[in-house]
A = this chain, B = another copy of it.
């Protein structure tokens, strides 16, 4: 493993080299509010388990974390129902697009994993059950603030509204889950929570800090609070490795070698077990729906620091 003192230089070099490529990706357009974001924004934050945070570029600017929020939703749901969650959601990569409904029909309404949309909707159903939507969202915001130590994290309600107005594919998934008996709440109610969860706005620095418990056996190394057991942290990392980038997860493991979760807002959060976390943001997406420059930045950073979990 490379000496962390070189991290600053390496981050600066990667940012300088890749910034010109931000124009090559295509920002998501299906959520109108996301399409307004400046595609040249590009930030990286690395949080190490010693508590230090190293940043470059637009690492302090909040962006829509979208599907990265599924990590936090999953953590809360596991806290609520434990391993019983797996009766309703699988743990296998889907081999399909994030919003595919094909497998859901073939597998009778049990989503392949908690990171494809259908699975994340079931996870949201779990944390929303028995609560008013605003209570659930309050709990979620409190949780990410607690994890990241940032009291100003909020949900961008314009993004949530934008998503709701065009979210017919997700409505289809929710009704399909309901038809198969795998949704407790009413579809529009569960999706209301889901769309707001996805609209969480966080900066790279905040995200990197929020994910640190996964790099540190379930305990926030800064606050010393235990978030989850070491076993659960390990398992969440495993799910991110297998399924975090949808049908590009295998390729990402091959190229980067770290557990990670991407969002259609252009963010990616990656975990380096025992070392720290990396959060990147660049709105332009590649053909698989993950940040084009963000993926390249993670690939270069992991290689430069020799941070792959697969290294000997």
Interface set of A (CB-CB < 8 Å, partner B): 49, 90-96, 100-103, 105-106, 112-113, 168-169, 171-176, 178-179, 187, 214-218, 230-231, 233-235, 237-239, 241-243, 247-251, 253-254, 257, 259, 273-274, 303, 308-312
Contact = CB atoms under 8 A, between A and B. Distances in A.
A197 to B, nearest CB: 19
Given A171-B171, A250-B242, A237 B310 contact: yes
B234 A311 contact: yes
A20 B173 CA distance: 42
Contacts of A273: 309-312
A273 B106 CA distance: 37
Contact of A101 (B172, B230, B250): B172
Copies, count: 4
B250 A243 contact: yes
A259 B253 CA distance: 11
A234 B94 CA distance: 23
Nearest to A303: B231
Give me the 3 closest cross-chain CB pairs, A-B, nearest first: A95-B95, A168-B179, A237-B310
Among A102, A237, A253, chain B packs the most CB atoms within 10 A around the CB of A253
Given A95-B95, A105-B102, A248-B92, A242 B215 contact: no
A282 to B, nearest CB: 23
Contacts of A233: 310, 312
A254 B91 contact: yes
25 contacts: A91-B251, A91-B254, A92-B93, A92-B95, A95-B96, A95-B103, A100-B105, A101-B101, A102-B106, A168-B176, A169-B175, A169-B176, A169-B179, A171-B171, A172-B172, A172-B179, A230-B312, A233-B310, A237-B257, A238-B253, A238-B308, A239-B253, A273-B309, A273-B310, A309-B310
A176 B312 contact: no
A242 B230 contact: no
A278 to B, nearest CB: 15
Among A105, A233, A242, A310, chain B packs the most CB atoms within 10 A around the CB of A310
A88 to B, nearest CB: 15
A312 B216 contact: yes
A187 B171 contact: yes
B310 A101 contact: no
A256 B303 CA distance: 25
